[in-house]
Each structure stands twice: as C-alpha cells, then as structure tokens.
Chain A
Amino acid sequence: MTAAPALSVEGLSVEFRTRSGVVRALENVSFRVAKGETVALVGESGSGKSVTAYAVMGILDPAGRVAAGRAMLGDLDLLSAKPKELARVRGRKIGMIFQNPRTALNPIRPVGRQIADVLIRHGNVSRHAAPAHAVEMLRAVGITDPARRAKAYPFEMSGGMCQRVMIAIALAAKPSLLIADEPTTGLDVTTQAVIMDLINDLAKELGMATIFITHDLALAGQRSARIIVMHAGHVVENAPTADLFVNPRHPYTAELIAATPDSAASLDELAAIPGSLPDLRRADLPACRYSERCPRKIAACAQPLPLAAPGTARFVACWNPLPEQTVDAPTVSAA
C-alpha cells in the first residue's frame, strides 16, 4: 500500500447510551482501505461491522456517540466534519448499499425518480436530463427494459432487482468509496453471485475502494483482497485474503474458519465456537474481549491489546497468536 489510502480509520471508538448502561460497541478500531481495493469486514452479528460503517457515514443512531478516533477521507475527517460538509460528501464521494433493499428504498417513489434525485443533488446533472440518465444507470446495473422499470415502485420488483436499484443509487455520483453492508443477505445464491459480480465489475471500472460487510467468510474470501475480522467491537485480525485462510493467526479467525460449513467433509468435523459475545455494557470488560472464550488464553492477555503498526500488511490483536507458517503451507483444501 504505497498510495494514499482512500479511507483511513484510526482509533475509532463508539458508545451507545442505553437505559441499562453504556454499550461500548467499538473500541480502537483502525484500518485502511487503499484506492481501488476491496476490503471485507467480517464477524458475527453484534461484532460491530455495521456500526463501523454507520460511524464513518455519520448516520449513527442518536443514542450513539463517537468517543474517539478519526476517519480520514482524503483531507477530511468524517467524524469531526460539520453536517453540511458531510452532506456534500455522502452520496458524492461515499456511496452506500444498505442491507435489505426493500426497506431502504422509498416505497412511494418510482425507482427512476429515486436515482434521478441523487443525480440532481450530487451528480451535476440537470433536473431536465436526470430521468434519462437514471434510465441509463438502470441499464448499467443490468435491468432489462430500463425505461419501463424506471417507472416501477420497489414493491413491483424482485429482491435482486431492488438491490440493483440500490447499487445504481449508490454509484450514481461515481463515488470514490463504496460501503456495501451485507448487500446480498436475503437474496438467493444465484442472485447473490450476479450482484457481487456487478459490484466487483463496477468497482473495478470506476477504480472505487470498497468496504464489503458480510458475515459469510466464504463470500468475503471470494470477493475481497483483504479481510478484517471483527469480534465484539475490536479488530482482531487484518490480513490479505489468501494469507488469512491458509494461516489464520488469531484464535477467533481460526475458529470462524473451522465453523464454516464449506470447509468440512462431514458435520462432525465442524467445530462450534465456544461461548458467546461478552456483554458490552459490563464495566469489567477484559482488555481482550475474546479472552473469555479463547482456548489459547495466557496471563499476558490481561494487558492492553497490541496496536497495529501503521503500514504493516498483517495485524493480529493477540498476545498468544497461532504460529506463523513461513514455509509454503499445505492448504486445507488439498483433500
């Protein structure tokens, strides 16, 4: 990563105030996304993947508060930017694809108009020319008969088509960063493959950096160059995709791979991850939030977690990581 990153998140901490106490949802999350790179954020539900994206976009729930950290998009710190500045960036420089397209789209506005809205606001397209551009966008995301579909409402379209519309909206202003929050959850595998192809192709074409949030490790492995594994609001491992699968170093990553059905020949081979996410409201949260589930726990685990050195290709937040394999390791898939 020699070029300046498209997005650089440093020491991001987010808290939510709830009636039953303060939830420390993110703690000291740091990562970089290079220009044109696709990075996947993976983890169980509740690990803080979406909160990270929402904090970067400045669309956290009102109960949420960024306690510390910076998110640099070029020279602009998204976390301390004024609402007006943010509004200029969102949609124009950062596009976002939300989970569940049916609820994210406006149900009472034809999809062509929704795309045109973005074009007028962020895309330097005149009010007059926008509808035609919107039809072109629909064609670009592979919707057949786009002129007719532009007049359709979201409820008249299938889930896959709604997701294509969302992609068209997110990419309307040709942003330099795309955040895709579980873009294919709830879609069929066949549709999922087509939608992911579309996102990958468009990202390549526009030279976009992409943050791809998913809980599907296999999908992340197939679609991204780098994987960031999150657990209970911490980044536990950040590694190039190929290295991560061949040689996971954080115990949690290894367990996550072992629990993925695809990796096993029979059900008995699959290993469940013991324990569950710690309650993030607790005052006595251990320094390593995985330590209570961890099979490799040692005394040193009570110290604050090691921090990422800037510019390193690989990062593990663990005092007792799995050994690094230096020789060309035999892959698990050899069987």
Chain B
Amino acid sequence: MTALLDIADVSKWFPAGAGPRAWARLKRRISGGVETLPKVYAVDDVSFAIGKGETVGLVGESGCGKSTLVRALTRLIDVSQGSVKLGTRELALKPARVFARDRDRARIQMVFQDAGESVNPRFTAFAAIADPLRRLRKLRGKALREKVETVASQCGLPLQLLSRFPHQLSGGQRARVGIARAIAVEPDLLVLDEPTAALDVSVQVVVLQLLQRLKREFGMSYLFVSHDLSVVRLLCDRVLVMYLGKIVESGPATEVFEHPLHPYTQALVAAVPRLHESGSKLRLTGEPRSPIDPDPNVCRFYGRCPHGTDACKLTMPALRAFSDRQVACHFAESFLKPARIAHEA
C-alpha cells in the first residue's frame, strides 16, 4: 500500500514560561538564541503513515498532543522538526501561511469538533459550505450553487436548511455542515477531530454511518481523533495511542483494544464503560509528568505506570514491532503472552 500521508520524526515544541511572546522575544535578545528557553514538548518524534483509503484512529487523553499533531500534519501550524509528506511531496518546509494558498491545501481537509463553534456564526450553512469552494476551487455563481447543493445532499442535509445560520440548526445538522464543507473540495485525507463529541448517541450513530458511507463512496482516508474508544473501534482499521507527545502503541484497532500491550493502553481500555460487563479495576493514579523539557531517558509514563521499574527511569523505551503492531514499553513481551492465552481460553 502506498502511503498517502507519511510523517517522520515530527516534533512540535512551544516556548514555555511566562507566556506572552514579548517575554520570549526579550529572553532571546538577551541570550542570543531560542535554545535557552524551556520548551513544552507537545509532539515529540512521532512517525506514522496513512495509506490510501485507510481509517486511522488517534486516541489519548487531553493534553497528550493529539490536537497539536493534527494541526501540524494538516499544516495549520509549522512543525519544529521532521517531515510531512503528502504522496511524494514534502510539505513540512512550507510555512503554514504559504500552504494556505497551496494547490495541495484542498487535499487535506479537517472536520472540527463542534461545528456550532467552528463555523462562522454569521455564515449561513450555504456560505459555510461555499467558502472553501470559493477559495480553493474558485467556483462562482451557478457552478458554486450546484456544487454546494450536491455536497449538502450527499451529507444528508436538506436543501431548505442551507439558508439557516448555525444557531438555527440542531447538533446533528451542524455536524453535517462541518462534514459537508470539508468534503466539498474532494480531499484525499479527511482529519476528524472528535466529530461526534458534542452529540447524543442517537445522532452520533447517524453521523458515524454517514462518515463510513462517504468514505466508501469517495475512497478518502480518515484520521479520526477521539477519546471515545468504542467509536474508534467501530470506525477505524488501525489505531495510534498517544501519551504525552509520543506514540506508545499502534496496530489494528480490534487487536489493540482486545489485547492492549502498553500499560497506558491497558488502563485506557479498562476505563471504558461497557454495557454488558462490569469494568476492570485497573486505574491510573497520579498526574501525567510535565511536558516541559522532559528527561529524554525516562519513560513518559513512568510514575503512573503500575509496572514501572528502575529500567524505565534509565532508558526511554523505543517503539518496537510485534508482528503488525508497535509498542513502546520495555515489558511488552510480558503482556503479550498472558493476553494471548486469556484470549484462547
């Protein structure tokens, strides 16, 4: 499978400290370099690829860098280091401002969390969907109207709602507007940032099924960011688990959720409420480590990990491959076996 999007060793760090940019600028002027400032390692050395037509899930707790990673690879912000390749073309070197007018801008599109907040409140549904078509496809007049109407009906949005403003639409209808404006320019990769987080279960089902239908119809690839593991399990082929800026586990979605190998994934899976079984008692204690200038030799999960030993303080575990999965834990083998046996029993 040729990769549609291939990102390698991507890092994004932000200057930490007093906050205002003026402060950073002042320090730089005094010391003559940005290196002396403490940095927040929001995304640290992340590599993965998304194949054509593949749906990849990205899960992790809030503050783990999911959104930063997504914004970096959709090129809404610049990466600090690393490469972002769309097909064969390297995008990481283009400043985000320049990329906004790039010919490949339309190929990566994004559906934001709550269309009620991410769509301009003074745009009607029509204007919201038409905006990317105007800017990126230069459509005008009748062609524009026709395209907007086609996309709206593909997304199951009744045409009489197109003249409404976001506040006049229900949650499900807003979600449809958000999806419609993203797929209007026919992207190859659609990045969905918790598209159903604000919706009730009854509406969530409809939106998820819509997404699956659109994927089959247009052959798009999805990167689906969510903290709802039961949704990720249903929609995604492959899943990436992120913890404090690093990918700690990846693999086929069903396998990762049935036999998680990384202790963090295990805790994550154990915490998901299930309809027909009582939850396991595996719980995470404490708060995550600080992302500001973390010690590069200590496992990021050390301190919260129920299996942590001294080895975890001495070397950072690298991602290692186990058949079709990757796990960043020194003790992944020890989880591999019991999990498999339990499954066979």
Q: Which residues of A contact B (CB under 8 A)?
A: 44-45, 144, 158-159, 161, 188-194, 197, 215-219, 221-223, 245, 255-257, 259-264, 266-268, 270-273, 276, 331-333
The answer to whether A259 and B201 touch across the interface, beta carbons within 8 angstroms, is yes
Q: Is the CB of A259 within 8 A of B275?
A: no
Please determine whether A190 and B61 come into contact, CB atoms closer than 8 angstroms.
yes
- Is B4 positioned at the interface, with any CB of A under 8 Å from its CB? no
B212 close to A260 (CB less than 8 A): no
Instruction: Give B275 Cβ to nearest chain A Cβ, in Å.
Output: 5
B159 at the interface (CB under 8 A from A): no
> 30 A-B pairs, CB-CB below 8 angstroms?
A44-B200, A45-B171, A188-B227, A189-B227, A189-B229, A190-B268, A191-B61, A192-B271, A192-B273, A193-B270, A193-B271, A215-B201, A216-B273, A218-B230, A218-B273, A221-B273, A222-B273, A259-B202, A260-B230, A262-B274, A263-B275, A267-B208, A267-B234, A270-B208, A270-B209, A270-B234, A272-B206, A276-B170, A331-B276, A332-B275
In the complex, A270→B235 CA distance in Å? 12
- A267 close to B283 (CB less than 8 A): no
* Cross-interface CB contact of A193 among B170, B206, B283, cutoff 8 Å: B283
State in angstroms the CA–CA spacing of A194 and B276 once bound together. Answer: 20
* Pair B279/A222 contact, Cβ less than 8 Å: yes
A219 touches B273 (CB 8 A): yes
- Please measure, in the bound complex, the distance between the C-alpha atom of A257 and the C-alpha atom of B274, giving whole angstroms: 11
Residues from chain A with Cβ under 8 Å of B204 in the complex: 259, 261
Residue among A189, A190, A215, A222 making CB contact with B278, cutoff 8 Å: A222
The distance in angstroms between the C-alpha atoms of A219 and B62, with both chains bound, is: 20
Chain B window 36-69, contacts with chain A (Cβ cutoff 8 Å), 1 for yes, 0 for no:
0000000000000000000000000111000000
Min C-beta distance of B2 to chain A, whole Å: 26
Interface-centre pick from B63, B200, B212, B230 (highest chain A CB count, 10 A): B200
Q: Which residues of B contact A332 (CB under 8 A)?
A: 275-276
Pairwise interchain contact B201-A188, C-beta atoms closer than 8 A = no
B209 near A267 (CB under 8 angstroms)? yes
The answer to whether A264 touches B234 (Cβ under 8 A) is yes
Closest chain-B Cβ to A88's Cβ sits at a distance in Å of: 36
Whether B104 is near chain A, meaning CB under 8 Å from some CB there, is no
Residues on A with C-beta less than 8 A from B231 are: 261
Contacting residues, chain B, for A193 (C-beta < 8 A): 270-271, 279, 283
B contact residues around A261 at 8 Å (CB): 201, 204-205, 208, 228, 230-231, 233-234
B273 near A271 (CB under 8 angstroms)? no
Specify which chain A residues have a CB less than 8 angstroms from the CB of B278 in the assembled complex: 222
User: Given known contacts A190-B267, A193-B279, A264-B234, is B62 in contact with A159 (CB within 8 Å)?
Assistant: yes
Is B271 a contact partner of A222 (Cβ separation < 8 A)?
A: no
* Chain A hits for B61, CB < 8 A: 188-191
B208 engages A194 (CB within 8 Å): no
- Known: A189-B268, A190-B271, A256-B202; 18 extra A-B contacts, CB below 8 A, are A44-B200, A144-B286, A188-B227, A190-B61, A190-B267, A193-B270, A215-B200, A217-B201, A218-B275, A221-B273, A259-B204, A262-B274, A263-B275, A270-B205, A271-B205, A272-B202, A272-B209, A331-B276
Known: A188-B227, A270-B208. A260 touches B275 (CB 8 A): yes
B35: shortest Cβ distance to chain A, in Å? 28
Indicate with 1 or 0, residue by residue over B197-215, a CB within 8 angstroms of chain A CB atoms.
0001111111011001000
Q: Enumerate chain B residues within 8 angstroms of A268, measured Cβ to Cβ.
A: 209
Given contacts A192-B271, A261-B204, is CB(A333)–CB(B277) below 8 Å? yes
In the docked arrangement, what's the CA distance between A66 and B233, Å?
44
B159, chain A: closest CB distance, angstroms = 19
Q: Judge whether B314 is part of the interface by a CB distance below 8 angstroms.
A: no
B310 interfacial by beta-carbon distance below 8 Å: no
> Which residue of chain A has the shortest Cβ distance to B61 in the bound complex?
A188
**Considering residues A223, A256, A273, which has the most beta carbons from chain B within 10 angstroms of its beta carbon?**
A273
Q: Does B321 touch A at the CB level, under 8 Å?
A: no
CB-contact partner of B287 in A158, A189, A217, A264, under 8 A: A158
> How far is it, in angstroms, between the C-alpha of A219 and the C-alpha of B285 when the chains are bound?
20
Distance between B291 CB and nearest chain A CB, rounded to angstroms = 13
In whole angstroms, what is the CA distance A268 to B213 when docked?
10
Residues of B contacting A218 with CB < 8 Å? 230, 272-275
Residues on the B chain within 8 Å of A264, using CB: 234
**A256 CA / B203 CA spacing, docked (Å):** 11
* B288-328 contact mask (Cβ, 8 Å, vs A): 1 or 0: 00000000000000000000000000000000000000000
Bound CA–CA A330/B234 (angstroms): 24
A259 to B171, CA, bound (A): 17
| A51 vs B279: C-alpha distance when bound (angstroms) | 30
Query: How far, in Å, is A19 (CB) from chain B's closest CB?
Result: 15
A144 cross-chain contacts in B, Cβ below 8 A: 286-287
Of the candidates B202, B204, B284, B285, the one having the most CB atoms from chain A within 10 angstroms of its own CB is B202
**CB atoms of A217 and B275 under 8 A apart:** yes
B95 to chain A, nearest CB (A): 33
A331 to chain B, nearest CB (A): 6
Question: A256 contacts which chain B residues (CB < 8 A)?
Answer: 201-202
Smallest CB–CB gap between A279 and chain B, Å? 12
Q: Which parts of B210-232 form the interface with A (CB within 8 Å)?
A: 212, 227-231
Interface centre among B208, B231, B270, B279 (most CB of A within 10 A): B279
Report the 9 A-B pairs with minimum CB-CB distance, sorted nearest first: A333-B276, A273-B202, A193-B271, A188-B61, A218-B273, A219-B273, A261-B230, A189-B271, A44-B200
Which A residues are in CB contact (< 8 Å) with B272? 189, 218, 262
Chain A residues, CB < 8 A from B201: 44, 215, 217, 256, 259-261
Contact call A194/B274, Cβ cutoff below 8 A: no
Nearest CB in chain B to that of A216: its residue: B273
CB-based contact B275/A333 at 8 Å: yes
List of B residues within 8 angstroms of A161 by Cβ:
287
| Complex: chain A residue closest to B229, CB-CB | A189
> Which of B63, B229, B268, B275 is packed against the most chain A CB atoms within 10 Å?
B275
Complexed CA–CA distance, A311 and B233 (Å): 41
Complex Cα gap A190–B38 (Å): 29
